[in-house]
Amino acid sequence: MIKEKLMEEIKKESSEKSSFWLKIAFDFGLAGLAYDEGKYALAVEHYEKATKLFYPNRPRDFLYGVSLLKTGRTDEAINELQGAAQWRYDGWGGP
């Protein structure tokens, strides 16, 4: 909880000055914190904020898929997990 509040404070203070990618990184960070605490619905919310700016051309995320599964969004979870299993990182972020 303290980590999440700190991340939100940092995001709020720097939101006007932050780059596009920094804003995404904050939401991914918050998603990871929520996931670690077992708050899967909150994790999904932050993953969706982080990915909506460059969806559909984005890497698939295993933890996002698990969070979707734990919140009952099975079809979306399967899609996300299948994409994560097929994703290949080669430095430029392409599939």
Q: Can you give the pLDDT of all 95 residues of the chain as single tens digits? A: 666 677 677 666 655 556 777 778 888 888 998 999 999 999 999 999 888 877 666 677 888 999 999 999 999 999 989 988 886 655 555 44
Collapsed DSSP state (helix, strand, coil) of residue 68: helix
Cα atoms found within 13 Å of the Cα of residue 70, Cβ hemisphere only: 17
Q: Which residues contact 15 (CB under 8 A, 6 or more apart)?
A: 23
Residue 19 DSSP code = -
Query: CB-based contacts of 11: which residues, under 8 Å, 6+ apart?
Result: 18, 23, 26, 30
What pTM value is reported for the model? 0.70
| Cα distance between residue 93 and residue 95, in whole Å | 7
